[in-house]
Amino acid sequence: MDLSSMNRTIERYQKRAKDVGISSRMVKDNMQPVKEDAFTLAKKIDILEVSKRKLLGDGLEPCSIDELQQLENQLERSLTRIRARKNQLFREQIEKLKGEEKILMEENTKLREKRGMQPLDLSATKTPQILQDRQIIEVETGLFIGPPDSRDTACPQNHKS
């Protein structure tokens, strides 16, 4: 190896070392804001955790009356929004069920017409005609409701002769 090629190799090495030094310094410089952001976010998480515990009713001992009043107001606002959302979901569910009821009533009417039966008149009172259309079937069972000692006297079929 001659002297000129050795000098070129050393120059390349020095240049590369200088570039690596610059890039590592840039990495260090760029890491500082990232570390600060991470620290800030960790603080915010701690604050949110404390706030969450307070909203759940834990860790209220150090709170002043004003802080407790603010928490109560915040909870009341949240409760109002929760109730409004719940009521909205109930209204939507009722509308959906009314739609399903309408479809089922139409289907019932078609089936009754197919069988030659009178359509149900549900405008006045629903119960009488529905009960009138159903057949009542009585079934005798061996069931008895009452204290065990009264069974033998109440059910003559249980007596053995």
| Token pair 């109440």: residue | 154
9-18, 97-106, 148-157: range with highest mean pLDDT:
97-106
- 74 contacts 52 by C-beta, under 8 angstroms: no
- Interval 29-42 mean pLDDT: 84
Q: How far apart are CA 42 and CA 48, in angstroms?
A: 10
pLDDT in tens, 106-152: 999 999 999 888 877 766 545 555 555 555 566 666 666 666 665 55
pLDDT digits (tens, 9 = 90+) for 1-13: 677 787 888 888 8
pTM exceeding the 0.85 threshold for the entire prediction: no
**How does pLDDT run across 60-79, given as a tens digit for each residue?**
999 999 999 999 999 999 99
